[in-house]
Structure 1
Amino acid sequence: MSTELRWQRLQDLFHAACELPEQSREAFAHEHAGDDPQLLDELLAMIQIENSATRRVHEPLCSTRELIAAANHIAPGTRFGPWAVVRQIGRGGMGQVYLAHRADGAYQRNVALKVVGDLQMDAQQRAFFEVERQLLAQMDHPAIAQIHDAGSDDTGRPWLVMEYIEGSPITSFCEQAGMSLRQRIELFMRVCEGVMHAHQKGVVHRDIKPANVLVSQVDGVPMPKLIDFGIAMGISGGPVQPAGTPGYMAPEQLDPQQRSDSRSDIYSLGALLYEIVGGLRPPDCASLPPGGARPSLQLDTLDADDIQTLARRRGLAPRRLISTLRNELDWVIAQAMQPDPAARYSSVSLLSGDLQRFLDGYPVHAAPPRRSVAIRKFIARHRSASAAALLATAALLAGIGGIIWGLQKAEREAQRAVATADFLGTILGSVDPDVARDLDKTLMLKVLDEASRRVATELQDQPDAKIQVQFAIAESYTALGMNAQAIEHLESARETAIATHGRHSWTDLLAIQRMSLILPPEQALEMLQEAIPFAARHQHGSNRTLAPNLRSRMSWALRDLGRHEDALRESERAYHELRELVPPDHPQRLDAAQYLAANLADAGRFDEAIPMLREAIERRAETLGIDHPRTLGQRLSLAVFHLQKRDYAGGEAELKSMLEPVASQFGADSAMMMRVRNNLGGALRQQGKIEEAGPHYEFAYDYALHRNGPTHRLTLMTRHNHANWLLDAGHVRQALDEQLACLDIAMQTLGPDHGITSEILRGLGLAQIASHDLAGARQSLERSLAIKRAMYGDKPEPLARINEALALLQTAENQPPAVVELK
């Protein structure tokens, strides 16, 4: 056993022993470490020290593990991107965890910083860490700690910045708060919701235990948070490292030949529930009693005073607590903790559903059929409704129908979650370590390409799971800027959705929603106009935001097509609809605010656009962090608004503050960095900082040209901007030639009436003025003005720049001819 694994096992056994009465700890040590004399000696020594309370727990342990830990210790103040270490607060599944804070002054936030040590992970495991943070970033659920940032330090050690939870382990919280049995189960079911969300994203936690479920009070309501996901453990091509904690770990997690999946988390949830309701630590999976993991059997070993205390803390009489466990919850826990994964609940949805049945007064499905129990519970549910037998019978039949439907739905969700997790796990397990070594996009591309190859065959008989996997693949391709591949998977997902559920079904509409921002605007507009009326028919429950969200995205397509008045009208309608439906921090409302702000800025209404977008950024940062990729996208838009308003100094400050987080999140040579530097060049040039602006313009144009080709819209815009800089730098002839080349491309690809064509004509006119071709300049600028007027009418703000250029031309025309030296 490796030093790391030995230390992990020793630490887990020590903490488990400390939770037992002092007189039971030595027997526990012999029972669980007797097969390893060295481990047993170390454990007994630590227990003795704990019992005598003469020294701190970890000081006497002088081992190789301690030396490794000391070598890997990170001093307070050490920087990881914009974050600075405060102190170590623990050790997670893959490394050490530190309390850290924002050190660049952008805002105040304490976070948990996980650093993966080089001695703990080989090249392939480090690559899977890269995949893990991609998957974790996709999870957005109140019961899951949020990822704020990620990167690698100068030595190549990966790090993650996560939400810092100031809470207590769920078992301690329940005891300290004196929660009733019902309150405990309701709290546990909120944990289940977070686990279900992770499973639907293809992520298995693998180490669910009290210490990884922290609970804090939010406005007086207990809110659980899952932390320390361990998907990068135990999936490399070499020896498997068992991720998990004794007592909460499923048996298959100990077997190197057996791959764990979402059912391993179900076992751990059962163990967690065992302790929450029964007050005792669950037995180790290797020592389950013949009757299974049933907390009532362990309660029978306690004396009357201990049972009285446990029952009182759960708001029950001792006899009621034991009978409730024996008749109902024992069966739920025993099924969740079955040694054979196939015998457990097949999904968290089914486990949670059985608990809801218990809370609602129905017999749980895990219990054997017992007519007396069913009758007793039926009577208990209908004490005040003992009227006509016919009505009671009808109600019972209706309830059975609802149960059957609910079970069918739960089973479909179970199949999808298990299939998704197993499929993605299989794909990840096939990655070549030689490819993984570089830890760059090559790994993700290999994973995605392999997933794309296999999804059509391996999930052919599970269409809903196939759709979910294709959605995940498409999102990853989109994040990598590979829209063509993303569209291919979304179109395939639509075909499956239509074949399975029908055209314009809910699943089909979700595919359209994802496609709308990456399709060409003409196609997106046509698809959205057709879809919105069907989405409006789903205006109930959590589905009610889809129609306004699609309308908001339609405004973006209209904007791209130059239909600015239509875009503004649709974005205003969408935003006001979402404002009535969801709270201010809802992601779709924040997206709609961004789209509306952009349309307001296009209309020159900057005094409305800038505050609206700034508020959206602040709300987004509260949940995702100020340097999250989505927040950075909005910050870039805010900087552009400042530039459009001619607040160039404000735009420069915002853009420069983004350089470091954009390099960390997206890479120093990325499309996002290209956009930031292109706009930063503009901010500097407009302030007369011509020399400083040059490298930014050159970087942006060079990036767009080599990534997208010469006729791409992004290449055209960056080339035009570079030509503007050439003019200001005194290279008049070169600027003129570049603007003419840009105009030729724009006429062929965008047409004579596009907004970008108008901007190029304005830049060409300025270059012609500088070269003293005043007649040509007059023609170019008037064509530019005509396009702008067709788009915006006579509104002053959108026409301001072109009118300034015409005023400059008028001044030149009124001056005597001059000899102009062309460079």
Structure 2
Amino acid sequence: MVNAPNSCAGAVSNSLRQRVGGMGEVWLGERSDGEFEQQVAIKQVAYPTPGLVQRFRQERQILARLAHPNIARLIDGGVDADGAPYLVMEYVEGVPITAYVRDHALDLRARLQLFLRVCGAVQYAHQNLIVHRDLKPSNILVATDGTPKLLDFGIAKVLATTDVAAPTQTAARLLTPDYAAPEQFNGGAITTATDVYALGVVLYELLTETRPPRTAPFDASAAVTSNEPTPPSAAVDHPTGVVPRRALRGDLDRITLTALAADVQRRYATAEALGADLQRYLDGRPIAARRDSAWYRLRKFAKRNRYALGDAVTVVAVSVAAAFISLQQAQLAREQAARAEQQAARGQVVRKFLVGVFEQARPDENQGQPITAQQLLQIGEAQLAAAVGNAPAIRADLTGLIGSLYWDIGDYARAEPLLKAAVAQSAEPLVTDEIRARNLLGLAAVESEKQAFAAAYGHAQQALVLARRAGRAGLSEISDAERVSANILFLRGDSKLAEPLLRQLLAADRLNLATAPALVADDLQLLGSVLGELARYDESESAFREAIQIDSRSHGDRHSKISSNYNELGQMLLHKGDLAGAEAALRIALDGVRQLYGPESQPAWTVQSNLFRVLEMQGRFAEVLPQRLRMLEQEKRCRAIPGRKRLPSTAICLGSTIASSASWIRRSRLFARHWRSGPGFKAPAPRPTAPTRSSTSALRWHCRVTTRRQRPRCAQRWPFSGSMNCRRRNG
């Protein structure tokens, strides 16, 4: 028995022990720091072994990342006088969710609405790359005001990191058998779908007031991996109870059994997907969960009973299996015919759609003015609803396509709402898994551009599950999802995690180099960026050079991918210190993007800015300064174009150039003139960049100049407004 944690923290004192868990004890305490008082829960390791202490520290790190109204928040933590770690957490005065719905006699709708809030909390954890691994009613308390709170992340796992408990046997014991997913017993991969299984058990309890029956409770691991659960409607004791049996038949049976599928590929990929299907049920709309095919059930039956089948039964089973195979082949032929019919219908809709777009692009319609790609997309967006009619799968496909094309030309403001709409439309039952995966990947790309890396990674992983479920039809999306996931890890600074994923993907794509060289080139380009970030410059350059060779063979010397590779190569060589090599690579990239997109395009300005950095590193300020001034004037003329919000960034870079050439007063004036000229500007880095910090120095110089000129109010106003703008625009 451990002692009460009297010495946990100066502002916290304990009173009563609340419960004992697998990792420690939880005490009720009082927190008082002289300003306010509150009850808190104090969690302390019962027996501080190195493994438990490490897990305790991981739990603290996990809780520090989570801030959600349905997750108990971390208040404090540390080590007591005896060296034992402790956590001070929000105290939840409540009861397990199953007891709450029973004691309050909640009807079916109220139970599902309460459960949806739990799904939201779990999805939030997943978007922060955290899998709980121990979801159960005792870890989901409902407070007196009806608010559910998710507790106890003691055995949670951070996705894309290694678990702190190395041995598999140790990890296997860290679970609750009645709620654990099959992969937790058999050593399979732990993913967001692992929590979905536990949510399925909790949902089963909320609907039936009993857990899914297992035939061998003494051997839970065998039971959970070999038996299909009884449908909830068949487990209800009273046909006319609080949740009547007839209300569970059909959709709720299918939703619950999908969440409880032993095969992770047949399970909901995320808590969000489970919650979305329940919301469709509540709204009276068709659900996405599908029934198992007869052939699938037959195979599962044979697997479960392979030792019990005698010779005679085996003969019958073989005959039945042959009949089922014939039926399956007939069904496959019907599905292929239906797919061909669907493709033909899609072709007709797309033809009608394209005809409508190009009719609007005729000279008679636009007074003979040249039409841009962006204008074509805007016309297509306006024509979409009329073209697709009542065809949800085609609508989801084309909406996502237009959103992705907006992304390709750099119009992120228009891309994001379209891709979000495409993901929502993909929930319709007729939409295929490969279309769902494709739309999720498009949304993940936009989210990563906005630095919403948790959401982007979650959507990329969800797309990966859907693409794998699609089989051969989703092979392209599988590769894309793995590449997007690796890119997100790289962008958020986890290059060490991204490298092995890319190496594995590259090895698989090299097998198809002859038929799909573009995939290998894409892998090599991203690998080059990752290796450059890890300061392995020679390997990085080799990857970029090979990508350029492959793209040149496939596309010729003038292609956007080649320019992109040279741009990335130039930036890597700049970090390496090879200024001559960086300049040569960036000049090739600049020539390419100017020929492809025009001299005043967004890609041209991006590459030109990178080239200016190299020239400044060589001390060639006199050469850079007039070109930056021209760029500033060009961008001022293009400010009305959607997506062009680089003006303040260009002004800052120009100021940095002038600062480096010692023209501080001129720089401060430019800064003062252009700092406010781009509403909505946000620097790409979470902390102020070097040019921004240099611009703040210019701001202080401007303040001194205005003070000398007897303008004290201006001098007072500028530092305040400038510092606020720096905070707002740099996060």
Length-normalised TM-score, structure 1 = 0.41
TM-score by length of 2: 0.45
Which is bigger in relative contact order (C-alpha 8 A, separation at least 6)? 1
Determine which structure has more spread, i.e. the larger CA radius of gyration.
1
